[in-house]
């Protein structure tokens, strides 16, 4: 497997959409490729950070409207 496909499968895995064969291929590639293993770790960190941000309080509605009007 090429690294390009491995990174695609890592992204696809975040959506829980890998087939059994894709899981095996990805695990095999990650065992052999340090660069893709590093990419996997970075992806996991980003995913965790995004989940944390989503759990935090959101802005008040009036502040959201002010920001949206300034972006237009």
Report pLDDT digits (tens) over 29-67.
Answer: 999 999 999 999 999 999 888 888 777 767 788 888 888
pTM of structure? 0.69
Per-residue pLDDT at 16: 87
Expressed as residue numbers, the domain containing 15 is: 3-71
Per-residue pLDDT at 57: 66
Per-residue pLDDT at 41: 95
Per-residue pLDDT at 59: 76
Tokens linked to 72: 């237009």
Per-residue pLDDT at 18: 95
Tokens linked to 57: 């309080």
Contacts of 28 by beta carbon, 8 Å cutoff, 6+ apart = 1
Query: Considering its fold, how many domains does the chain have in total?
Result: 1
């Amino acid at each position: 497997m090429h690294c390009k496909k491995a990174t695609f499968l890592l992204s696809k895995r975040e959506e829980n959409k890998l087939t059994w064969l894709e899981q095996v291929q990805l695990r095999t590639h990650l065992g052999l490729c340090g660069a893709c293993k590093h990419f996997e770790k970075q992806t996991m960190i980003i995913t965790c950070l995004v989940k944390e941000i989503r759990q935090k309080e959101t802005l008040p509605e009036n502040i959201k409207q002010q920001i949206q009007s300034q972006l237009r």
